[in-house]
Chains A and B, each alone.
Chain A
Amino acid sequence: LSGMSTVTKDFKRVRVASNTEIYPGYFIISLDLPEPITAGPGQFLQLRLIDRGQFLRRPFGIFDHKDNNIDILYKVRGDITSKISLIKPGESLDLIAPLGNGFDILNKKERPIIVSGGTGFAPLNFLAKKISLKEGLFIIGSAGAESKVFAELLGLAGLDTLVISEDGSVGKKGIVSDYLRENLSSDSIVFSAGPLQMLKSVYSIAEDKGLKTQLSFESHFACGLGLCWGCAIKTKQGTLRVCSEGPVFKGEDILWREI
């Protein structure tokens, strides 16, 4: 399985099947597409409300996907996500998907360590379900108790989870990087998504042990389609676009001091 899409990208109106608050301020919206598409973990979509005064599209990672259904996990942060949270089942949204390059699924000898911070959990949930782990660990971090809710959503047999909250309300108290080092072994590979500072810590801990990382980056997107070069990131291969060459990059390819 590769992160690349095998279908033609298109944009289309999609029907909202459900839009449920799973934790205060966090929603899962389930979208029914007109036909099945192929999208891999780490790819994203560009969403726009119809006739509600939204200007630029907003990118969202894919939380789960099968056939003609896509689920998105989102947090209400501003005007647009607030409006999305009010969408009722049966209403329509305008969608471009799938976009970007996702995670490369590992070979079976490697032990996956998945590390999420906040809504970085969304694309990693899809990844965890796709790689059907025999053994491995999913470290789920958040500010409050949402990490426990995420772990319950995952509900994946054979995968250990470690729940962490900054306020100590659920699981272990602290941030994910506090618990990463002790859970790494020589056959680990690290997948991560979350805030940039967290990705930096995750990379530096993994690199210290000589381990490979695949990290999903967030950026300011204007188009999200590779047209405008607004989401540049400095890499060893030159300046690349988070939306097109990413959002998933190998940690060793990033010029960390320049971002």
Chain B
Amino acid sequence: MIDLGSLKFKSPLLLSSGCIEYNESVKDLIPFNSVGAVITKTVTLKESGGNPMPRTSEVYLGLLNSIGLQNKGIDYYLSNILPALEDSLNCHIISSISGSTIEEFAELASILDRERAISAIEVNISCPNLEKDSESGIGIFAQDDYMSYGALKAVRESTSKPVIAKLSPDVTDIRSVAQAVSDAGADAITVANTYSAMAIDISTARPKLAKVSGGLSGPAIKPLTLKRVWDVHNTVDLPIIASGGIMDYRDGLEYIIAGATLLSIGTASFINPKAAEEIKIGIDNYLKDRSLKYKDLIGSLKIE
């Protein structure tokens, strides 16, 4: 068992938000019941139609996406998605939320606070695929320490459930944002969302994504996010959920040694649906071979 505050996880492997859609047709393909938690696709107050096509493009060792938080809103989430998950899964369910104002974050958190099925709330202040709000001028909350603090503080005051802040890697120094969300009362930090990126089709001189840019995930980003996990680990005393290009158990081990407590698997599931399960086995074998305990590996980087 791995502890994240008051929550206990039977596996350190989580399925990332936006990379997983539980339904009958994939229940035997994806190892839902052997993971520690499923982080559901980000829900917003109102329905969001998402971005125009094409929404994805493969790049060298990575995937660009601009889905745009497509979802049917919190009411549908509570009446349709959550009950099905509660009936089918025996791992933690973590709800990912996003809003365009601090008030929306608070409202979502207070609504979800009443739901017994939800173990924690991940506050997605870092989606790279949202438009800048024309009135407030606010873009990605996680690129501003004060907005990050405000969103997390509002969520903190709206729920007694564990609160996880999902940070953006696209900042000058992730340590100040980590400090801000820690000060606001976050219980854990997910490091990190995707990187703002783009690709161009040279035969047409057009962008490969309809929205021009999107978020980059996959093995291309792992060394970048690894450094950010290390930075956050050295800044705040909160458990870290590492999320960024974990493809196999060796990637997972690097993140744990750099300071991660839990590992979130996203793009890897697209290629190998059983990735989370196989990574768990690989880590267990590594620990057994060296007679190590999981918690002793966390942040155990040796520097001479």
Contacts and interface: CB of A to CB of B under 8 A. Distances in A.
B55 interface: yes
A230 B53 CA distance: 8
A222 B21 CA distance: 14
Residue in A10, A55, A227 with the greatest tally of chain B CB atoms within 10 Å: A227
Contacts, number: 91
A229 B270 contact: no
Given A222-B65, A239-B70, A229 B26 contact: no
B270 A222 contact: yes
A140 B37 CA distance: 49
A195 interface: no
B113 to A, nearest CB: 27
B56 A9 contact: no
B49 A239 contact: yes
A228 B218 contact: no
Nearest to A222: B56
A220 B29 contact: no
Contact of B21 (A219, A220, A227, A239): A227
Given A96-B29, A226-B25, A219 B271 contact: no
Contacts of A227: 19-21, 26, 30, 269-270
B70 A225 contact: no
A220 B53 contact: yes
B19 A228 contact: yes
Contacts of A225: 26, 29, 270, 273
A65 interface: no
A3 B105 CA distance: 42
B273 A96 contact: yes
A236 B67 CA distance: 20
Contacts of A9: 25-26, 28-29
A193 B28 CA distance: 30
A11 to B, nearest CB: 6
A10 B25 CA distance: 11
B190 to A, nearest CB: 18
Contacts of A56: 58, 63, 270-271
Interface string A201-235: 00000000000000000011111111111111100
A246 B61 CA distance: 28
Contacts of A8: 28
A224 B272 CA distance: 12
Contact of A228 (B25, B56, B274): B56
B58 A55 contact: yes
Contacts of B21: 226-229
A239 B67 CA distance: 12
B285 interface: no
B273 A230 contact: no
A38 interface: no
Contacts of B62: 55
Interface in A236-259: 239, 244, 259
Interface of B: 18-21, 23, 25-26, 28-30, 41, 49-50, 53-58, 61-63, 65, 67, 70, 218-219, 267, 269-274
8 contacts: A55-B61, A55-B63, A55-B271, A219-B53, A226-B21, A226-B23, A227-B26, A230-B56
The 7 closest A-B pairs by CB, nearest first: A230-B56, A223-B270, A222-B56, A220-B54, A230-B55, A8-B28, A56-B58
